[in-house]
Amino acid sequence: MNIKVAIQGIKGSFHEEAAYKYFGDQIETVECESFKKMCELLKQGKVDYIVMAIENSIAGSLLPNYNLLRDYRFPIVGEVYLHIKLHLMALPDVTLQDIKFVESHPIALQQCNDYLEENPQFKVTEAEDTAASARKVSELQLKDTAAIAPQLAAKLYGLEIVERRIETNKKNYTRFLILTSKPEERGKVNKASLSFQTGNGVGSLSTVLQCFAEQNINLSKIQSMPVLGKRNEYDFYVDVEWKDQADYDAAIRRVLKHTSNFNIMGEYMKNEKV
C-alpha cells in the first residue's frame, strides 16, 4: 500500500516534485487547492504526510504557513530543498513563433520577468498554479499558448519544452517541510525547528540566542510572528543545527529557563541543497 502524501496544487507542481524527491516515486500524491486543505486531510487521517513550502530564497518566508504550523501542531519529520527551474512549454510541434499567450502562477511569472521583458510579443496571463497552466494547454489543445512550469508538468501533460531555464535567478531554491500527524521514532538527527516566546525586557531574545551560540549551535533561521490578540508579543520560530547531540541537549535545557510556551516542532536530518 503506497504512502499517501498531500501536495498543494495539482500533479506536476513543485510540491509534487518535492514529494518525489523526499519519498521517491512509489507514493500516491493527493491534490489540494490550499495549504489548509492539506492540513485538514492529515488531521482527518486521509493522508500519511503533507509537503508544505515554508520559504523561498527569493520570495522569503511563507508567513501564512507559520500560522498553520502553530494551529495544527503537526510534528516536522523532515525537510527538502528543491532547485526551482522554470521552462516555457507548449504542445508538440508548436514553435516560439506560434506562441501568442503565456500563462503561469504570478510568482513564477515574476521569477521569469527578464525573459518575458525580452519577449514583449507574449500576452501574459496569471493562473492559479504552474502545473494547472500546463494541464490547460494540454487539455484544450491550445496551439497559440505556452505555460511556464516545472519539467515534471511537461512530462505529465505531454508538452514539449520550447525554452529551458527561463527563470531570472538560477540559484532559486524552495524549502519544504515534511509533516505527519503523530511523532515518529527518529534515528540520528542534526536539525530542529523550535518555537517560543520571550519576555519584553531589554535583551530577552538576545539572552536566548546567546544560549545557542555558547553551546556551538548554529541558528540557521529565525522568524517572528505576532501573538494573536496580544500587543507587542511575538512567537519566535527558529531552526537550529548541531554536530554534537550533547551540545543541543544542553542548549535546550538552558533556553527553557528564559522562554515561555517553548515547543520542539520537530527534530530531523538536515537536507543539503542540491
Domains and CATH numbers, the chain: 3-82+172-180 (3.40.190.10), 87-163 (3.40.190.10), 191-268 (3.30.70.260)
Q: Reduced to 3 states, what is the DSSP secondary structure of residue 60?
A: strand
- The residue type found at 230 is K
In the numeric block, which cell numbers belong to residue 9?
496544487
Total residue count of the chain as it appears in this document: 274
Q: What distance in Å separates the CA atoms of residue 173 and residue 153, rounded to the nearest whole number?
A: 18
Cβ pair 47, 5 in contact under 8 A? yes
Q: How far is CA 241 from CA 129, 197, 219, 272, in A?
A: 33, 20, 7, 12
pLDDT above 70 covers a percentage of the chain that reads: 99
Cβ pair 146, 88 in contact under 8 A? yes
- The residue type found at 37 is K
Closest CA to 193 of 253, 235, 250, 237: 237
pLDDT band at 180 (very low <50, low <70, confident <90, very high): very high
Average per-residue pLDDT for the chain: 95
- pLDDT at residue 58, as a whole number: 85
How does DSSP classify residue 97?
G
Q: What distance in Å separates the CA atoms of residue 148 and residue 161, rounded to the nearest whole number?
A: 9
Residue 228 has pLDDT above 90, yes or no: no
Contacts of 190 (CB under 8 A, 6+ apart): 241, 242, 243, 269, 270
Ranges 1-10, 120-129, 228-237: which has the least confidence: 228-237
In the numeric block, which cell numbers belong to residue 218?
548554529
Find residue 245's DSSP bridge partners: none
More confident residue, 236 or 2: 236
In the numeric block, which cell numbers belong to residue 262?
517553548
pLDDT band at 273 (very low <50, low <70, confident <90, very high): low
- pLDDT at residue 274, as a whole number: 60
In the numeric block, which cell numbers belong to residue 81?
530543498
